[in-house]
Amino acid sequence: MALDAVAVKCLTGEINKAVTGGRIDKIHQPERDEIVLGIRTYAEHFKLVLSAGSAHPRVHFTEVQKQNPITAPMFCMLLRKHLGGSKITAVRQAGFERIIVFDAEGYDELGDVTTRHLIVEIMGRHSNIILTNESMKIIDCIKHVDFSVSSVRQVLPGLQYEFPPEQDKLPLIEFKGHLKYEGTGGEQLSKLLISQISGISPLTAREIIFNAYGCADMKLSELKNTEPLEKAVRDMAENVTENRFTPCIIKDDGAMRIMEFSAIDIRQYGGLMKVEYTDSMNRALDDFYSGRDALERMKQKSAGVTKLLNTLLERAYKKRIILTKTVADAGKKEQYKIYGDLITANMYNIPEGAPSAEVQNYYDPQGGVVRITLDPSLTPSANAQRYYKKYQKAKTAEVEAAQQSRLNDQTIEYLESTLAAVENCTGEADINAIRTELAGEGYIKRGRDKKNRKAAESKPMHFISEDGFDIYVGKNNTQNDYLTLKLANSGDLWFHTKAIHGSHTIIKLGVDKKVPETTIRQAAELAAYYSKGRDSNQVPVDYTQVKNVKKPNGAKPGMVIYDNYNTLYVKPKYYESR
């Protein structure tokens, strides 16, 4: 769900009311394309995130705390120079576009009062954050757009800022007339609205149609009376113009994950989705984006590790095919020995230079005849020795290939479990912990530690069950070993998905040795959620006492065996960690 102009109008009004008259006292740049402003008013202190990320561009107040780089990027330093201590005089939406302009009044190098404009363009991969002076001349921007990127509009320091070209559409708030109903009839009616009216998202367009006809997924061919639709568009335009908004988030009623957000009331889903109303558009955006943006950032930061693991797995899969073929070929070894014996027994009957020989097979109970292929350049004795060497080679290869196959299967098991652990990472510290683990196993080179930088420590996830029991979930194989082999006592309960890669999960019993069924189920749901079976409806989870879990000698991190267990089938469920 992208921010449409309707949501931006609601959002701008809230931000303008909250921070106008406040001063910018902190400026940080935690990500390459993201700025966080600390704004202090007489009554409150706000943290405002401005993101030009192509995946989730946005502007909203946030409560999420991100780690900032030790050395501030150049654009951040420039913003501190021009906006630090400035007073925000207005926050406004440019036209009815997805553009928010912050007007800030401060002092220049000579001590004169001047106005700067911080412009946030929320336009997908073309999103940008631009700082201009009083006359709208660009001082700098977080993304430089030159002729190689766009031949229509350049955004570079020193150029005069120009708003993006207008679309050949009518803004929603200006709609007062009629729509054009052109097409073959098979098109979705929502697409017709979007093609003629600017500032609305597909969700808003479908809601307009629902308000008109009680059905959101109508086609143009099903349209009989156009007046209800045009009235619904005019009503929506009036509500937006008069700032009558109803911020809400739409959740999947089963998984309770936030699927969409809106500045208007959403009724089109009926009972399929759960609509929760929020006290502000800012709250809706923060709830929606905090999880999704963190997931997207983690995908970017873990891309290198994921690519490495996939490459190693691909090699291991190919090696498995080769070893399987080697073992299959070695199954012919006894035939080679028989051929050598038969050639030796019939050496006086085989002429030199013969390409083959037909001899009686003494090993056949029926006494049949077998044809043996020979090398004409070798004597019969040398041909017998050739088959004996093939026998010895196949015998040695079978033993070695079987051993290598076991080791390769262990490698595949470990790499697949590590790849599953990458999905459980919640911060850069978790990714670094997996890199350290891979370096310890010899898969990557161990990097040098940078001086004067304290690396954040990756810790297992900690949950408190409904009955007050501590539940721990490992994020990687090293943490899994720590939980199972060091943190847990022999009587604690251990959980793991059955034949599915996932995290080790522990219930610490403490003084109370009797664990309620609700806590056991909650731990099983967590084990299922932090596994490769997360998207399944029913996941088998084995659980047993820690004393029944053993780590074989020489096993890779996270690899254990267990017995005397029970199996519980649960639906994966997300819980907030402590």
Q: Residue 51's pLDDT is what?
A: 94
Token code pair at residue 64: 């999420």
The mean pLDDT values, 10 residues at a time, for the chain of 578 residues are: 87 96 95 94 94 91 87 95 95 95 92 94 94 96 92 92 90 89 81 92 94 91 90 94 94 71 92 89 89 70 90 94 88 88 89 90 85 92 92 90 91 92 81 89 72 61 93 94 94 95 93 87 95 92 96 92 96 86
CATH code of 5-141, in short, is 2.30.310.10
Side-chain-side CA neighbours of residue 254 (13 Å): 6
CA dist 78 and 173 (Å) reads: 37
Helix (H, G, I), strand (E, B) or coil at 161: coil
Q: Residue 303's pLDDT is what?
A: 87
Q: Residue 293's pLDDT is what?
A: 66
Which amino acid is located at 159 in the chain?
Answer: L
Q: Residue 287's pLDDT is what?
A: 86
* Dihedral sign from CA coordinates of 531, 536, 542, 545: positive
CA dist 403 and 36 (Å) reads: 56
- At residue 511, what are phi and psi to the nearest 5 degrees? -75, -40
Q: Residue 254's pLDDT is what?
A: 55
Cα–Cα nearest to 134, from 187, 76, 185, 86? 86
Q: Residue 294's pLDDT is what?
A: 65
Cross-strand bridge partners of residue 374: none
**In the chain, where are the structural domains located?**
5-141, 170-299, 308-420, 461-570
* Dihedral sign from CA coordinates of 332, 338, 341, 346: negative
CA dist 17 and 299 (Å) reads: 36
